[in-house]
Amino acid sequence: MAIGTTEVLSTPATQSAGPWRTAWRDLRRNKVAMGSIIVLIVIFAACLAAPLYASSVMHLDAFTSNLDGKFTVNGVTGPVMQSSDTGLGLGVNPIGPTWLWNNFFLGADNQGRDVMSRLLYGGRNSLVIGLVSATLCCALAGFIGIVSGYFGGGLDAVLSRGLDVLWAFPVYLLAICLSVVLINQSLTIGPITLNSGSIILPILIIGVIYVPYVARPIRGQVMSLREREFVQASVGAGATDARLLRREILPNVLPTLIVFLPLMTAINMLTESALSFLSIGVQPPDASWGTIINDGVGLLYTRPMVAIAPGVMLAITAVALNLLGDGVRDALDPKARLRGAV
Amino acid sequence: MLRFALKRAVAAVLVLFAISVLVFLIFFATPGADPAARIAGRNASQETLQQVRESFGFDKPLPVQYALMMRHLFIDRDLTSFVNRGVEVIPQIKQAIPITLSLVIGAAIIWMFFGILMGVAATAGRGSAVDPLIMIIGVIGVSLPVYWLGEVVNLMTQSRLHDSFFSWVPPLGYAPLSSGVWNWASHLIMPWMTLAVLYAGIYARVLRSEMVGAMNEEYVRMARAKGISERRVLWRHAFRTSLIAIVSLFGLDFGALIGGAALLSEVVFGLQGVGKLTYDSLQNFDLPVILGCVMYAAFFVVLANFLVDLVYALLDPRVRHV
Amino acid sequence: MKLRITTAVASAGALTLALAACGGGSTPAPSASAATGGTTSSSAANAAYDPAKAGGDVTLLAKTAGGTLDPKINYTLQYWQLYQAAYDGLTAFKKVDGQESFTVVPDLAESLPTATNDGKTYVFNLRKGIKFSDGTDVTVDDVVASFQRIFKVSSPTAGSFYNGIVGADKCLATPATCTLDGGVVADATANTVTINLTSPDPEFFYKLSVPHAAINPKTAPVKDAGTTPIPTTGPYMFKSYDPNTALVMVRNPNFKAWNEDAQPSGYPDTITEKFGLTVEAEVTAVENNQADWIFDSPPADRLAEIGTKYAAQVHVNPLTAVWYVPMNVNLAPFNNEKARQAVNWAVDKNAVVKILGGDKLAAPVCTILPPGFPGFKDDCQYTNPAGATWQGPDLAKAKALVTESGTAGQAVTIITTDDEVNKAVGEYLQSTLNSIGYKATLKPISGNIQFTYIQNTNNKVQISLSQWYQDYPAASDFINVLLGCASFTPGSDSSINIAGFCDKTGVQPMIDDALKTEQTDMNAANEKWAATDKAAMTQAPWVPLVTPKLIDFLSTNVSNYKFSKQFYMLVDQLQVKK
């Protein structure tokens, strides 16, 4: 039997046990997908444990400047911020990675704070912002792309030009503007009141700005699908638009959205750092992987690990999400099931 | 077709209008954006501030200022920067276009080549280690911040390995095509590769997904059943129908990049293209240049999407435009 | 003056264009010959011009262009430095290495006139035989037109430097019809120009020696000339200027040296300032000898590298400048003197020194006037243990003062620019304010907006981070400009007294008194400035943080480095290796 695939994704296991159970069984058999889930769980757990790591292992607050800090390794004590003592003695650099679990494992940043602690804390913001904004983006894009491609005509023209405006819109200008406006005021959107430190703001901005990027391919796909034999046949058989969209179009579009979701998550985590840089979203001394990368770019020549570590985390997360997405899609295989039903 | 083009031209004007109004309003909605004090200079007396405000027309109502600026941009074509005064916006953009074109076209060729190659190879290699490997490489490319990557490339080519492996890499910057093809290309190889890394991964991923989907389609199965070779099925059937998504993405990316979205690559490699111009104007909060750059970018976004819609019909003749 | 009007920014992307710490050097105090570290410049400070060393091309790098090329309007150190080899005023700062460079010498005037009419009238004899780079003679009419032009083009300093000239008030009100009638009077037959002031101004020669008072042809446009070069009188003229690519200076064919102190002959044949590379790339280019000097400060992560591997090419000089934290004395919590003093006790200035690149690149300061400046006297009211110079912070005392003031727990927003160094100092301040009982947030905003934003009282900025670089070596340029009542205009974007400090009964009378004393006795006035500085700091409208040092990083292709304390490295004195 055919079922609405969105429901399968959003409400687990409760309804029509058959296909869902099959899918879940397929997924469980997929070693790569299960491996990805484990990796993601480990990353989530580690990020949740950030306060524990900072207080009980590292014994250093991750958000307080530590420019005068000292560290001790193998009985040798030195300053965290080390002045250059060769040549003209110019420059002060934070210590590099010690590779000791409990002592500046990845070194310190330009405030003398532990990079490892900040990486774990930063993961919380990055994961939330990346995942929520990517989901928002794909949901909006899926909706607009399908409506635009399916109904065509005037509606398509209006929506498409709206996407053009959005795509050509200088987001950085808006971000600069918001960053200054929000210093003294907060922004009220309906019932929600936002200040510049709220992470809802970057989620909304990032979620919306990439909508054209996902919506346009979906629209093209739907335009092409609409003319296919099996859709035309359904139209001939008197199927309603709602039924067509749900049973023919959506299942065919979903795999594309599943591919875009992890990609957009990675892109969004990076875009978030650009907005943070402009004082929208994650604010100092708070961190995200993107903001740590920003800090690290300034330390590229001396402490490359500050930028590499969050970059690696970001890549691992994106790869795991991609592999999981593939697994989910294979397990659901909506097209095969759809074809069985027709 | 002509009617279609005309309709889109009208729509394009509306898009440009909408964006210019938005930019204008956002600029003046920013507290501290009033350019008068920045133009007047540090510690300028209140009289001087007032003189500047009047001579630049900042005391006029916003709609009048908007109309004046649009007139200078499109009719008199002599809109000048607030910051680098005396510099006209339009010649600046004209000067920057060849640089951005050189960067983006070269990078696009590279990322399309590798994106398609990787996407098709991954599809063909489904079930083997090739597929996930290609995907992982692609995703890592997406996860690298282009600015950081550019700095690392510079670190290697200009500093650490400058005297050995990369001694052929010229100093950062742009050399026009007229100075010799190799001279031009050698300045751009590193920027091309850096920019292409991000996009190749996305395209490979999306292409693979579409092709895997297409391989399961009825007509592809039929073609297979008829004994058509796997390679032919892959390229003639699956690849062709999968191109719609790729063409959409390419339209968006190419339009935006030509319009200046490659700003970080241009900044990090010292290329004075439209992206760098946009970046500088945002840094300087220089409204006329911001406006000029954004209008220019919007034009290309609209144009690229127009072309994409035409290509749809070529790729899939069943898709017709009303 | 503010350094780097258009360049002190980074942002708009996932990037941090490092704008690193200013300055650096191994001489802690501004003594003797300024250049240190390098090997080249220890030669005799001002050897005579050596024609055999002339020739070659010098390439300078800057991240961005410095705006208009019009010397009457441009107010950036970036171009003021280049103007030294191009434009001349009636007077000039001596173009030499070291402390001497603060001395004013006659330039286009034959000699420095003595003021008459109770210090209100100066009669300048114009030098004969000097031509502009376009071949026309420099006449007294050009001088008059140049002074009128200051007002006609709304020069930034028209109302602050030149408002004391008779007739300036009318020119400020209606610039288009500016004549300066009775203020600047030419006598073509005697070849003299008489300048009448409304009241004596002991700093007037300084004001005549900055580029805004340069003498330009009377044919110069009465609007901002923008990118069109105005003919020069010095050894170089501007050949072309494109803010996106480069500014090119070539030899002025009509230049003949008249006073080597005021306007020495230059060495290179061309001087080109190229724009557009990132600062990281600029440093690499100089390391590779692809360029000869960078205008921007090297980023933090390159300091160690250039300080060791390229030590011989580095010159470090202290600047007469200050990084400071203005606190709004009219807004809670810093309308409370104790709260302001608490912040002064709490801030660890050595932490800020570290962010700026270490003690070779910055030094803690306690006073408004930077060390080595006229009127400066070692004095530190907020240091633990007590001393004349800064020793360390006293957090306990700071916390106690916050509690006493009753402002504990209040929300405080710190506004900084968004470049790497400013942001890092901001993060440190935020941490410190939190530790003494405030709820601090940091708002780094675009560098171009921040400077005007923090000045306008409408924006209700409580505390911010700013820098001030001297215009000319006089105490009033810091104390009167930054803390005088006249510089405080509520609701205006141009209100350089950022703290909004106007003490009509205590400090302002002291400022007025010091200004008056300057007219007769500079030394006595400087004593008074020191006292004013101390009195102001007792009320703590600022936290003075550090005084920066400047790094000049040269390629191995150039030598003969000379550092003027007024306008920094003398670009035209660089000799190119042949």
pLDDT tens digit string along A25-61? 888 888 888 999 999 999 999 999 999 999 888 888 8
Distance from CA of B223 to the nearest CA of C (A): 48
**Closest residue to B29, CB basis, from A169, A181, A290:** A181
DSSP C197: B
Residue C446 maps to a domain: yes
Percentage of chain B modeled with pLDDT above 70? 98
- Check CB contact under 8 Å for C430 and A285: yes
Q: Record the tokens describing residue B247, joined without a space.
A: 């063409």
Mean pLDDT confidence for B111-130:
89
Q: Which residues 45-64 on chain A approach chain C with CB closer than 8 angstroms?
A: 63-64
B131-140, B182-191, C4-13, C117-126, range with the lowest pLDDT? C4-13
Nearest CA in chain A to B295: A168
Q: Which of B302, B252, B4, B322 is nearest to A149 (CA)?
A: B322
Q: What are the φ/ψ torsions at residue C322 (nearest 5 degrees)?
A: -145, 140
pLDDT digits (tens, 9 = 90+) for C264-278: 999 999 999 999 898
Looking at the structure of chain C, the number of domains it has is 1
- Check CB contact under 8 Å for B205 and A263: yes
- Check CB contact under 8 Å for A322 and B135: yes
Contacts with A291 from chain C: Cβ below 8 Å: none
- Residue C533: CATH number of its domain: 3.10.105.10
- Check CB contact under 8 Å for B15 and A164: yes
Contacts with B43 from chain C: Cβ below 8 Å: 156-157, 160, 481, 487, 494, 496
User: For residues A154, A158, A163 and A169, what is the CA-based torsion angle, rounded to 10 degrees?
Assistant: 150
Q: Give the pLDDT of chain A (342 residues) as one tens digit per residue.
A: 333 333 333 344 444 456 677 778 888 888 888 999 999 999 999 999 999 999 888 888 889 999 988 888 888 888 999 888 888 888 888 988 988 888 899 999 989 999 999 999 999 999 999 999 999 999 999 999 999 999 888 899 899 999 988 988 888 888 888 888 888 777 777 777 777 678 888 898 889 999 999 999 999 889 888 887 777 888 888 888 888 888 888 888 888 898 889 888 988 988 887 788 777 888 888 899 988 988 888 888 889 899 889 988 988 998 898 888 888 877 776 554 433 332
A197 touches chain C (CB under 8 A): yes
For residue A111, the one-letter residue type is Q
Chain C contact partners (≥3 CB pairs within 8 A): A, B
Distance, first Cα to last Cα, chain B: 10
**Closest residue to B37, CB basis, from C14, C288, C452:** C452
**Closest residue to A90, CB basis, from C18, C307, C460:** C307
Give the pLDDT confidence score for residue C237 in this predicted structure. Answer: 97
Distance from CA of B189 to the nearest CA of A (A): 22
Q: Which residues 66-105 on chain A approach chain C with CB closer than 8 angstroms?
A: 67-68, 81, 83-84, 86-93
Residue B182 maps to a domain: yes
Contacts with A227 from chain B: Cβ below 8 Å: 316, 318-319
Residue C50 maps to a domain: no
- Check CB contact under 8 Å for C14 and A91: no
**Burial of C207 from C-beta contacts in 10 A (0-12 / 13-18 / 19+):** buried
A273 touches chain C (CB under 8 A): yes
Residue B235 maps to a domain: yes
A258 touches chain C (CB under 8 A): no
Give CA–CA dist C263/B112, Å, rounded: 59
- Check CB contact under 8 Å for C14 and B145: yes
Contacts with C70 from chain B: Cβ below 8 Å: 85
C202: number of CA atoms within 13 Å, CB side? Answer: 17
Give the pLDDT confidence score for residue C19 in this predicted structure. Answer: 29
Based on DSSP, count helices (H) and strands (E) in chain A, helices before strands: 15, 6
ipTM, 2 dp: 0.85
Q: Count other Cβ atoms within 10 Å, centred on residue C66.
A: 26
Chain B contact partners (≥3 CB pairs within 8 A): A, C
Percentage of chain C modeled with pLDDT above 90? 83
Residue C372 maps to a domain: yes
Answer positive or negative: Cα dihedral of B32, B33, B34, B36: positive
- Check CB contact under 8 Å for A160 and B305: yes
- Check CB contact under 8 Å for A177 and B26: yes
Q: What's this model's pTM, rounded to 2 decimal places?
A: 0.88
Looking at the structure of chain B, the number of domains it has is 1
Q: Which of A19, A26, A121, A18 is nearest to A64 (CA)?
A: A121
Residue C543 maps to a domain: yes
Distance from CA of C411 to the nearest CA of A (A): 12
- Check CB contact under 8 Å for C304 and A176: no
| Structure-model confidence comparison of residues A15 and B129, the more confident one | B129
Answer positive or negative: Cα dihedral of A107, A110, A114, A118: negative
- Residue B224: CATH number of its domain: 1.10.3720.10
C481 touches chain B (CB under 8 A): yes
- Check CB contact under 8 Å for C12 and B282: yes
For residue C151, CA distances in Å to B53, C155, C158 come to 15, 6, 6
A167 touches chain B (CB under 8 A): yes
Which structural domain range is residue C354 located in?
321-550
- Check CB contact under 8 Å for C64 and B284: yes
Which runs of consecutive H residues, i.e. helices, occur in C53-198?
A: 77-83, 140-152, 168-173
pLDDT digits (tens, 9 = 90+) for A187-219: 777 777 777 678 888 898 889 999 999 999 999
Q: Which CATH code, of 1.10.287.1080, 3.20.20.80, 1.10.10.10, 1.10.3720.10, is assigned to A36-51+114-341?
A: 1.10.3720.10
Give the pLDDT confidence score for residue C47 in this predicted structure. Answer: 66
Evaluate whether B31 touches A181 at the Cβ level (below 8 Å): yes
Mean pLDDT confidence for C505-513:
95
Which structural domain range is residue B192 located in?
96-286
Contacts with A279 from chain C: Cβ below 8 Å: 418, 443-445
Alpha carbon C14 to its chain centroid, in Å, reads 31
Residue C119 maps to a domain: no
**Burial of B222 from C-beta contacts in 10 A (0-12 / 13-18 / 19+):** exposed
C285 touches chain B (CB under 8 A): yes
Size of interface B-C (CB pairs under 8 A): 186
- Check CB contact under 8 Å for B132 and A172: no
